Amino acid sequence: MVFNMKLLPHAHLAGGRFAVIRLAVFTLLSTLGVAGCGYHLRGVTVLDPAYQKVYVQGMNTSDPVYQQLQYLFQNTHSQLVTDPREATATLVIDKNEVQQRAAVVTPQASVQQYELYQRITYHVELPDGRTTSRQSLGRALNYNYDPVGVLASTGNEAQIRQELADSLARLLFYRLNAPLPAPTGAAPAKSTNAVKP
């Protein structure tokens, strides 16, 4: 009986310590969870409401640029649609050109390095008739070519093409953050960067 009486206070203290530790761990995990959610929310890109549903015209859905653009739209409140009747905006791809040029040539006229250059020209059309001006963006990347290791060189070229597509899709996505033309009859927006006399 005496033995039990001596243990009870220690058991009570141990239980108290455990409760405090458990509370501290719960608080820490809750804080991390809230912080993580806040970071996720801050990472969401909010596009103009006109881009709520975007239809891409002039580019196949299997195109690497389209697929990367579709991936980027997953982190927004907007989406790419395949039916133009659902679209709140149409991204028209006027041109999507890829050129391969010799970048480094040996004295023996053997190509050691190629340059891949991709250029996209586009504009945006809205259902109310508004249209943005045509814009272009381009990027070039080089890759080594080995006539002996043709398979390796081919794989290198495919990787460069994918990198080009990813880069251009990101540029195109960020361009969509630019202000859209005001509706007809709307007052022009005042510039906040006007220089005061």
DSSP string, the chain: -HHHHHHHHHHHHHHHHHHHHHHHHHHHHHHHHHHHHHHHHHT-B---GGGSEEEEESS-TTSHHHHHHHHHHTTBS-EEES-GGG-SEEEEEEEEEEEEEEEEE-TTS-EEEEEEEEEEEEEEE-TTS-BPPPEEEEEEEEEE--SSSHHHHHHHHHHHHHHHHHHHHHHHHHHTTSPPPPPTTPPPPPPTTPPP-
Pick the more confident residue, 151 or 193: 151
| Residue 158 in this model has a pLDDT that exceeds 80 | yes
> For 49-175, which CATH class?
alpha beta
What average pLDDT does this structure show over 17-36? 47
Question: Which range among 51-55, 112-116, 185-189, 192-196 has the greatest average pLDDT?
Answer: 51-55
Give residue 178's pLDDT: 81
Of 27, 16, 48, 1, nearest to 183 by C-alpha is: 48
Confidence class of residue 30 from pLDDT cuts 50, 70 and 90? Answer: very low
What's the mean per-residue pLDDT of the chain?
77
Q: Pick the range with the lowest mean pLDDT from 53-57, 100-104, 121-125.
A: 100-104
């458990």: which residue's tokens? Answer: 22
What average pLDDT does this structure show over 42-62? 88
Question: Which range among 18-32, 89-103, 134-148 has the greatest average pLDDT?
Answer: 89-103
| Residue 167 in this model has a pLDDT that exceeds 80 | yes
Please give the Cα distance from 144 to 165 (Å, whole number): 19
What average pLDDT does this structure show over 31-48? 51
Please give the Cα distance from 183 to 181 (Å, whole number): 7
